[in-house]
Every structure is written in structure tokens, then in C-alpha cells.
A and B are shown apart, each in its own frame.
Chain A
Amino acid sequence: MRKAALDCVHELSQSDDRVVFIGSDLGPGVLSKMRAESPERWFMEGVSEQHVIGMAAGLAMEGFIPYVNTIATFLTRRCFEQVAVDLCLHDLPVRLIANGGGGVYAPLGPTHLAIEDISIMRSLPNMTVIAPCDADEMRRLMAVTPDWPHPIYIRLAKGGDPVVSEAKNGFSIGRSITMRGGSDGLFVTTGVMTQVALESANLLAKEGLQIAVQHVHTVKPVDEEGLLPAIARVRAVVTVEEGIVNGGLGSAILELCSTRDPRSLSKIHRLGIPDVFPKRYGSQQTLLDEWGLTVSGLVTAMRNRIRNGVPDE
């Protein structure tokens, strides 16, 4: 997914003189072709995220479209004020490409785990928050980024994620995608939790439960008109995100229903990262297992929600 995103930055830079790239201190050779072709629009600025965001803002004020890439935690926690003031207050078209959303950097520990990135980016006026589910969808997203007039936070997964998105569904910022229909329950997902939800829905189908999957690649602005009917037509809704439950996708759905469809609130259950810093290392899968963000975790949550009104006991 990261390779797809950066390849797209390179391609965009060839056809659009407004595109510039800024990395902090990335691995050797990142976007070396772009660097060779357009050295005046390629920057590696060092471990200085506060400066990098301000610099991107300055370039955007002059008509450029900066694509900024570094590790998700450093792009959100370290320079939150710069993102808020320099990018969001000025409402500038800067694109933040964030490596390692959720538990991707599990072996590196909690300083590197982007658990709350979606929540805090979502809290900022003018910010758009997007978590594609696979590399193909990333390419479709990147194609529409040059002309989106606001800052965008783009959350990357581990890479090599199974491709489940389909070209026929297209990609519009702010419009969710029905990955699978179903009348009994609904998984509302973002990022690579969409793959887990699809697999879970397949298993539940064997039990006779028809479960829909709505992929919400754009967590903000959330697709109100697409989600409300999907939520209204089922008995149970489980939101699934590889992010902390405070303020993320699940919260966005609760907020939506609290104003537009309060009767649906009681059928919604949120799955995500609990409100604690992870204590274990291992792999991303280690943490997903711990958080219950697995096929069995999703199946149990949905089954119980439908049958008992109880989410995950």
C-alpha cells in the first residue's frame, strides 16, 4: 500500500507541476526516480516533523500540493499543533501519508503504534481522514487527491494486504462502498478491517446470517447518506477499526445516529483498540488477537449482537 501510494506521488509529479514530496528521514532510495526527474520538488528534511508540516503549509500557500510521508505517530502526535494551525486553520491542500496505522509497528512498541491517529485527525476542522483497505484502492484514492481542496490524512496499513476492493466501485472521497449486502447485520469498517469483516461475513453466512459490509474508507467526512439506510435496514451493527475506540469510526457512526437516527443507537457495537497503551510486542497479528480484531472476534460480536443483543460475551 505504501509502495502504491509513493508510486502514485511519482506519477502525479510527472503530470502535475504542483506536486511536491516531503519526507522526514525515510529509508534510503525513497522516490529516487522522482528525485532524479524533479529534484526541485523532492525534499528529505530530517527528523523535524514540526518544521516539515509548516514547510508544507508554506508550499501549499503558494499553490503547490505537498505530499508528506513519515511514520503515522510522528505525523500526528509530534506535530499536532502544526497540523491543526498550519494545515487545518489555513485549510491547505497538504496530503499526509502516514506509515503504519494501528498495530503495524507492534514489535517496536507503543511509541511507534498509531492507535489514536484517526481519532485526533478526525477532531480537526477541515481535515479529511481516509484509510484505504488495499493497494488498488490506494491508487484510486491517490488519483483524486490533487484536486481535493482540503488537507487529507491518509492512513497506510502494513502492506501486502489482500486486495478486496474493486475498480467497478470507483472511489469518491466521502462516499462509502457496499462490499457485501445482507439484511441481518452490518459491519461498518475502515482500512484493512474490511478484509476481516468480509471473511467474518462469509462464516456467518454458513450459520444462515446475512451480514452486510460497508467499507468506510473516508472516516471524515463520513458518508451520512450511504450509511443511514444501511444501518436502518439491519438488526445489528458492529463497527470495526484498527484504532482506539475513543473518537474513531465507531464514534463517528454513533454521532451520526444520535442526530439523524437515534432509534438505531442501541443496535450499534464498537470494536477497536481499547483505551490502554498496548503492552505486548510480537507482530501486528499479536495485537489484533489481543484486541479481538480477528475473524473469530468479529463473528462472536456480530452473532451475539443479533441473537442476544449482547455484543461480545
Chain B
Amino acid sequence: MTPMTVLDERSRHLRRLVIDALKGGGRGHLGSSMSMVEILRVLYDDVLRYRPTDPLWAERDRFILSKGHGCLALYALLADKGFFPIDELLGFCRPESRLGGHPERGKVPGVEASTGALGHGLPIGVGIAIALRIKHSQARVVVLTGDGEINEGSNWEAAMSAAKHRLSNLTVLVDYNKLQSYGPTSEVLDLEPLTDKWRAFGFAVKEVDGHDVQQLKVALASLPFEASRPSAIICHTIKGKGFPFAEGNPEWHHKSGLTETDIHAMYDCLK
């Protein structure tokens, strides 16, 4: 599956917000954030239940960005939805800002867990899903992981537990952009057969083009895929999606020292 989706104005708008933050901080995980913009867009536009003015509303769905380095995209969505003023994006990574290079619970409204160290989101998500079940809550838990991130064994410990406890209120989304920091996931530590892996670990699994809004909507609207299993969606994406110089280029996993010229070039891609 090769995502070739053309980005619509909503997707371009959200990417502009990410660039605003990149511009403010002069650095950031561009590639890792741009691969997941459509995933977050559909989650926040169409799937998750939440109240921006009451971020700890008891019946909210819990979204955990386990690949915390993709926080630029999360900040863009949270700002767009009114969790905090959109102007704050310009303070990204600045000393006085609450928007750091990895998201922190208790600092940023709407952030459920402090992530950045990889392989933490799914175990926490399992604990929350169990807690919600004990409380007879209808709220759901969605965890977004990276592909390089699931090199970490803790994910697979948690996956076994999620299946054991039949956590149908838990969904894992894998942002499968096929590139980790050093290079292709197939070369660094191959994940294939990835769909079979999640299935073997007890999940009901679907695959989608992670930039195709309609496909994402359809898949996410049908959660849980099975009544007594956790769900997993493998989202095939392109690292740096929307920026030809960054697409599929590991050099853009993270960039620091971004210049005015770099920033202009990025905005130009979104015209």
C-alpha cells in the first residue's frame, strides 16, 4: 500500500500550524509529525469525544501520543480545537512555553501522558482501559505509536496483556511511515509481517492509507473491530508527507537550526 493522497485545504491548514511551531522553536521532528497529521485530524474531527474547555471531563476518550516526538502535530490539533490559544504554537520549545519537544501531562491541556521515551504509551493505555472498564465508563483509549517505537519490547508485553484482558475499549494506531531515525525500518529492525504480528498478539487488525481521510474515517467508525479484542490499525504513511524535500528522507526525522529560507520553503509546499 503506497499512500499517494493529495492533501486538501484542512490538511494543509494543519500543516501550516505545525510550521508555525517549527518556526517558533527553530527545530522539531518535521518528518515524524507530518506522517500523522491525517490520523490526528480524523481522530479529533470525527472520532474522539472531548471537551476543550474541560480537558479532564470524565467521559472523554483518552488519546495517548506514544510517539511523543510527533507532538508538533498534536499541538497543532489541540490548538486548532481550542485546548489552548493558537498563538502559543509560536513558543514551541522556548523556556517559558508549556509546549516542549515532547508532550507533558499536566502542562498541556489535552495531553494524557508525558511521552518521549518510547514504548510507554501502550502499557499506560492498557492501565487506563482497565480502569475505565472497572468504572463502567464508555470512554475509549486510543494509543498512537511510531513504527521505530515498536522495536521496544514493552509494547509487546502490553499487547499480550491487552489481549488477555480482552480490551475492546483500546485501539492501537501504528504510524507506519517505514523510516526510523537511522533509516528504513526494514533495514534497522524489520517489523514485517506487521499485521500478522498484531493479529498473533490477539488484536483485530485493519490496514489503511494513513493519509486517506475517508479510509481513516471508515476504519475508526467501526471500532471495536471485534467485541472481545483490542483493535489495531496499521496506518501506511509517508514520513514528511506534504514536503517533497522531506518525504521519505531520514535527514528530516528531526531538524534543528531551521533558517528563514527553510521555513519559507515549507510554507511554499502548502500553497
Contact = CB atoms under 8 A, between A and B. Distances in A.
Nearest to B131: A62
B126 A51 contact: yes
Interface stretch (B30-38, B113-121, B178-186): B113-121
A58 B127 contact: yes
A86 B123 contact: yes
Contacts of A228: none
A85 B125 CA distance: 14
A35 interface: no
Interface in B158-178: 158, 160-161
B106 to A, nearest CB: 8
Secondary structure at the B interface, as helix, strand, loop or mixed, is helix
Given A48-B157, A48-B161, A50-B153, A55 B117 contact: no
Nearest to B141: A58
Secondary structure at the A interface, as helix, strand, loop or mixed, is helix
Contacts of A62: 127-128, 131-132, 135
B67 to A, nearest CB: 14
B112 interface: yes
Contact of A56 (B106, B125, B127, B157): B127
B139 to A, nearest CB: 10
A63 B130 CA distance: 12
A57 to B, nearest CB: 5
B122 interface: yes
B124 interface: yes
B123 A90 contact: no
A55 B161 contact: yes
B130 A55 contact: yes
Contact of A45 (B119, B131, B154, B161): B161
A80 to B, nearest CB: 11
A53 B81 CA distance: 32
A53 B157 CA distance: 11
Given A61-B128, A82-B123, A90 B113 contact: yes
* Residue from B113, B129, B160 whose CB has the most chain A CB atoms within 10 Å: B113
A56 B161 CA distance: 13
A100 to B, nearest CB: 22
B264 interface: no
Nearest to B115: A85
A86 B154 contact: no
A81 interface: yes
A interface, how many residues as a size bin? 20 to 34
Contact of A59 (B113, B117, B127, B161): B127
A59 B135 CA distance: 11
Interface in B185-202: none
* Residue from A53, A55, A66 whose CB has the most chain B CB atoms within 10 Å: A55
B105 interface: yes
A61 B127 CA distance: 9
Contacts of A51: 123, 126, 154, 157-158, 161
A72 to B, nearest CB: 20
List of 10 A-B pairs having minimum Cβ-Cβ separation, nearest first: A58-B127, A54-B123, A62-B131, A51-B157, A48-B157, A55-B127, A50-B154, A58-B128, A58-B124, A59-B127
Interface of B: 105-106, 112-114, 117, 119-120, 122-135, 153-154, 157-158, 160-161
30 contacts: A41-B134, A43-B130, A46-B157, A48-B157, A48-B161, A50-B119, A50-B153, A51-B126, A52-B123, A53-B123, A54-B122, A54-B124, A54-B154, A54-B158, A55-B123, A55-B127, A55-B161, A56-B127, A57-B113, A58-B125, A58-B129, A61-B124, A61-B127, A81-B120, A82-B120, A85-B120, A86-B120, A89-B114, A90-B113, A90-B114
Given A61-B112, A61-B128, 5 more contacts: A48-B160, A50-B153, A51-B126, A55-B161, A89-B114
